[in-house]
């Protein structure tokens, strides 16, 4: 596809052949490699999820035995967390968009960027290779002492997560320095796009939290290999210490997953509302509020672990504080849409989907943060529904919105709006049909991670399973039309959304060096007048 200003040259045809992709230092190509890898893992994680839901068509055995079920839910969780949601927005969309939004030619350390990708893939390969042996059945949380005593291949599984963690650390490091050092002339901090603010805050969390997971997983591996006893009470260790270490990373990891999603939404809403963003500073700073609070709430995963009542009380109160910066964002987004001239393109539909689903996920999070209520709903399907509303209803919706939004920039072609609308409604309806019933069975006491359930939960579980089929249909359909339109879609033009962030000032697809003329910034990127 030619572009007059560049003589038809762009990052896709800049070099040819598979090797030119595998050895590329171009952040845009690395971003696309992440995108394809992450979507492949998403398909895999989704396949595991579908198996789990089919198993729950009946209370007894449907298609697999209990031991297989344990492995499948472990893989579903681990793949979705470590290989899909954590790397998806920063690794794929962030890599492609972040340097362009800054008016830079690349990230600060392009070789490190490529190394991150391969480290990520190596981690994935190691973790998934456990499938060839006895799999792993510890759940994605690897709780001791079960993870140190089960006869499944937990070591490979943990080692994979350990290795993939370094990719996350190095990507975060790269983005932090890029934002500090490679902003275009005139692009002051108060003019930074909100996606940059969000990814920057995420990067700080990645850099500060992930190393703690690294040492935790390393200790866990040595616990299995050499019985070092740090987590084993029989040897003087402390099993709850593992939980503290694990959640010290894994709670901030929740924000590693949701903050970039909020960044995407902050871009979509002003562009498709044709109005300046409401509360720019509040949105930017609330990302840091969330990042900060993220580090001091990990104990809310451990209300029934036997930690002190006083700690429970403190963690409960601080957890509720998360609602404040989150609320600031949600109300600012709504304020932006108010009296705007809203365009209902697919990215905006996903932004609406995000707002509603994420709000349900967020509010049910307050239930979980309330001590007395949590004692009742701990380890039930209520919690499963809660975090799926945040992770799928929030993070995945934003990912889908972001993919549609930047699709024309990445490919130079437009996706089919009609196809995308059908997909959106399938996803939205399927998602709610899958997970809303889980709030109900959870509040009635159906425990999570169990292979079977009592007969009274049958109807709601069957609803949930049917919902998972609708959701899967929507996602598969999305893959089909995006694959088709990537090659056969109508030429999109450089700026089909009339957006103001810098990436849209470049040709679609962009040239190897991102811009024909290095941009100079004179204003913030949200000066829309409807």
Non-local CB neighbours of 283 within 8 Å, separated by 6+ positions: 194, 197, 266, 277, 328, 329, 332
Residue indicated by tokens 């729950």: 56
Residues 6+ apart with CB under 8 A from 240: 302, 305, 306, 307
Q: Does 115 contact another protein by CB under 8 A?
A: no
Q: Which string of DSSP letters, residue by residue, matches 168-214?
A: HHHHHHHHHHHHHH-PPBT--GGGS-HHHHHHHHHHHHHHHHHHHHH
Least Å distance between CB 352 and another protein?
A: 37
Query: What distance in Å separates the CA atoms of residue 259 and residue 198, rounded to the nearest whole number?
Result: 6
**Which range touches another protein (CB under 8 A), out of 104-112, 131-139, 312-320, 416-424?**
104-112
| Residue with the two structure tokens 């929507």 | 474
Question: Measured between alpha carbons, how far is 162 from 119 in angstroms, rounded to an integer?
Answer: 10
Task: Find the largest Cα–Cα distance for the chain.
Answer: 72
Please identify, using beta-carbon distances, which residue of 232 and 485 lies nearer to another protein: 232
Query: Please, which residue, 128 or 220, has the CB nearer to another protein?
Result: 220
Per the structure block, which two tokens stand in for 211?
């190393």
Q: How far is the CB of 4 from another protein (least distance, A)?
A: 19
Tell me phi and psi for residue 13, to 5 degrees. -100, 10
436 lies in the site for another protein, by CB under 8 A: no
Residue 131 engages another protein in binding (rule: CB under 8 A): no
Beta-ladder partners of 520 = 185
Tell whether residue 144 is a contact of another protein (CB under 8 A).
no
Instruction: Tell me how far, at minimum, the Cβ of 14 lies from another protein, in Å.
Output: 10
Contact with another protein (CB under 8 A) among 64, 115, 131, 177? 177
CA-CA-CA-CA torsion sign (320, 325, 329, 332): positive
Q: How many binding residues for another protein (CB under 8 A)?
A: 43
Distances from the Cα of 441 to the Cα of 139, 460, 493, angstroms: 21, 7, 49
Stretch that binds another protein, among 75-83, 231-239, 332-340, 499-507 (CB under 8 A): 231-239
Q: Which stretch binds another protein (CB under 8 A): 48-56, 178-186, 270-278, 414-422?
A: 178-186
Pick 208 or 318: Cβ nearer another protein: 208
Binder to another protein among 57, 122, 176, 184 (CB under 8 A)?
176
Q: Which residues pair with 490 in a beta bridge?
A: 414
Give the nearer residue to another protein in terms of CB position, either 243 or 434.
Answer: 243
Judge contact between 430 and 474, C-beta under 8 A. Answer: yes
Does residue 210 touch another protein according to CB under 8 A?
A: yes
Q: Tell the residue number behind the tokens 């409960």, with chain if given.
A: 316
CA distance linking residue 240 with residue 237, whole number of Å: 9
Q: Which residue in this structure is represented by tokens 């709030």? A: 439
CB of 165 to another protein, least distance (A): 10
- Segment interacting with another protein, rule: CB under 8 A, options 66-74, 166-174, 395-403, 429-437: 166-174
Q: Which helix (H) or strand (E) holds 490?
A: strand 490-491
Binding mask 374-393 for another protein (x = CB under 8 A): --------------------
The answer to whether 513 contacts another protein (rule: CB under 8 A) is yes
If one asks whether residue 1 binds another protein (CB under 8 A), the answer comes out as: no
Contact criterion met (CB below 8 Å) for 132 and 103: no
520 binds another protein (CB under 8 A): no
222/477 with CB nearer another protein: 222
Does residue 314 bind another protein (CB under 8 A)?
no
Judged by beta carbon, residue 173 or residue 463, the one nearer another protein is 173
Nearer Cβ to another protein (210/332)? 210
Residue 484: other Cβ atoms inside 10 A: 13
Q: Is 184 near another protein (CB under 8 A)? A: no
Q: What number of CA atoms fall less than 13 Å from residue 279's CA on the CB side?
A: 21
The stretch near another protein (CB under 8 A) out of 170-178, 333-341, 393-401, 479-487 is 170-178
104 near another protein, rule: CB under 8 A: yes
Q: Which is nearer to another protein, 227 or 530 (CB)?
A: 227
Output 27 or 388, the one with its CB closest to another protein.
27
Q: Is 110 in the site for another protein (CB under 8 A)?
A: yes
Least separation in angstroms between residue 182's CB and another protein is: 6
What CA–CA distance (Å, rounded) separates 253 from 290? 12
> Looking at the DSSP assignment, which residues form a beta bridge with residue 491?
413
Per residue, the 3-state secondary structure of 266-333, as one string, reads: HHHHHHHHCCCCCCHHHHHHHHHHHHHHHCCCHHHHCCCCCCCHHHHHHHHHHHHHCHHHHHHHHHHH
Q: What does R_g of the chain's alpha carbons equal in angstroms?
A: 23
CB of 176 to another protein, least distance (A): 6
User: Closer to another protein at the Cβ: 111 or 487?
Assistant: 111
Nearest approach in angstroms of CB 225 to another protein is 10
Residue from 122, 173, 239, 371 binding another protein (CB under 8 A): 173
* Per-residue DSSP letter, 380: B
Which residues contribute to the site for another protein (CB under 8 A)? 99, 104-110, 169, 173-174, 176-177, 180-182, 207-212, 214-216, 218-219, 222-223, 226-230, 232, 235-238, 241, 245, 512-513
């Amino acid at each position: 596809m030619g572009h007059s200003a560049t003589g038809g040259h762009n990052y896709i045809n800049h070099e040819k052949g598979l090797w030119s992709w595998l050895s590329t230092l171009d952040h845009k190509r690395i971003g696309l490699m992440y995108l394809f890898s992450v979507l492949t893992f998403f398909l895999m994680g989704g396949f595991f999820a579908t198996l789990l839901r089919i198993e729950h068509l009946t209370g007894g055995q449907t298609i697999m035995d209990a031991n297989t079920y344990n492995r499948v839910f472990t893989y579903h969780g681990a793949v979705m967390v470590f290989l899909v949601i954590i790397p998806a927005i920063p690794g794929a969309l962030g890599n492609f968009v972040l340097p362009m939004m800054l008016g830079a030619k690349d990230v600060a350390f392009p070789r490190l960027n490529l190394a991150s990708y391969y480290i990520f893939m190596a981690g994935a390969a190691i973790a998934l290779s456990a499938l060839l042996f006895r799999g792993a059945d510890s759940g994605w949380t690897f709780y001791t002492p079960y993870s140190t005593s089960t006869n499944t291949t937990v070591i490979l599984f943990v080692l994979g997560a350990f290795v993939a963690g370094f990719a996350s650390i190095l990507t975060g490091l790269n983005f932090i320095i890029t934002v500090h050092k490679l902003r275009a002339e005139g692009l002051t901090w108060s003019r930074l796009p909100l996606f940059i603010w969000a990814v920057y805050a995420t990067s700080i969390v990645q850099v500060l939290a992930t190393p703690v997971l690294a040492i935790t997983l390393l200790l866990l591996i040595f616990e299995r290999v050499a019985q070092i006893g740090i987590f084993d009470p029989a040897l003087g260790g402390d099993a709850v210490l593992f939980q503290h270490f694990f959640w010290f990373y894994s709670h901030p990891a929740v924000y590693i997953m949701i903050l970039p999603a909020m960044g995407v939404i902050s871009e979509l809403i002003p562009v498709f509302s044709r109005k300046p963003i409401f509360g720019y500073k509040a949105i930017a700073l609330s990302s840091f509020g969330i990042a900060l609070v993220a580090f001091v709430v990990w104990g809310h995963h451990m209300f029934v672990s036997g930690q002190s009542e006083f700690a429970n009380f403190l963690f409960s109160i601080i957890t509720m504080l998360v609602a404040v910066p989150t609320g600031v964002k949600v109300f600012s987004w709504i304020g932006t849409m108010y009296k705007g001239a809203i365009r209902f393109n697919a990215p905006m539909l996903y932004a609406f989907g995000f707002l509603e689903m994420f709000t349900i996920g967020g509010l049910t999070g307050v239930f979980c943060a309330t001590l007395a209520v949590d004692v009742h709903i701990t380890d039930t399907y209520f919690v499963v529904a809660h975090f799926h509303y945040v992770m799928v209803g929030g993070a995945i919706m934003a990912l889908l919105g972001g993919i549609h939004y930047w699709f024309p920039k990445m490919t130079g072609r437009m996706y089919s709006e009609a196809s995308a609308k059908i997909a959106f409604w399938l996803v939205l309806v399927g998602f709610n049909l899958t997970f809303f019933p889980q709030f109900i069975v959870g509040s009635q006491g159906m425990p999570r991670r169990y292979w079977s359930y009592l007969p009274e939960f049958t109807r709601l579980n069957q609803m949930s399973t049917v919902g998972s089929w609708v959701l899967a249909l929507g996602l598969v359909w999305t893959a089909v039309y995006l694959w088709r339109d990537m090659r056969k879609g109508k030429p999109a033009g450089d700026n089909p959304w009339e957006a103001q962030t810098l990436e849209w000032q470049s040709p679609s697809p962009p040239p190897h060096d991102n811009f024909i003329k290095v941009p100079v910034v004179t204003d913030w990127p949200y000066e829309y007048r409807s």
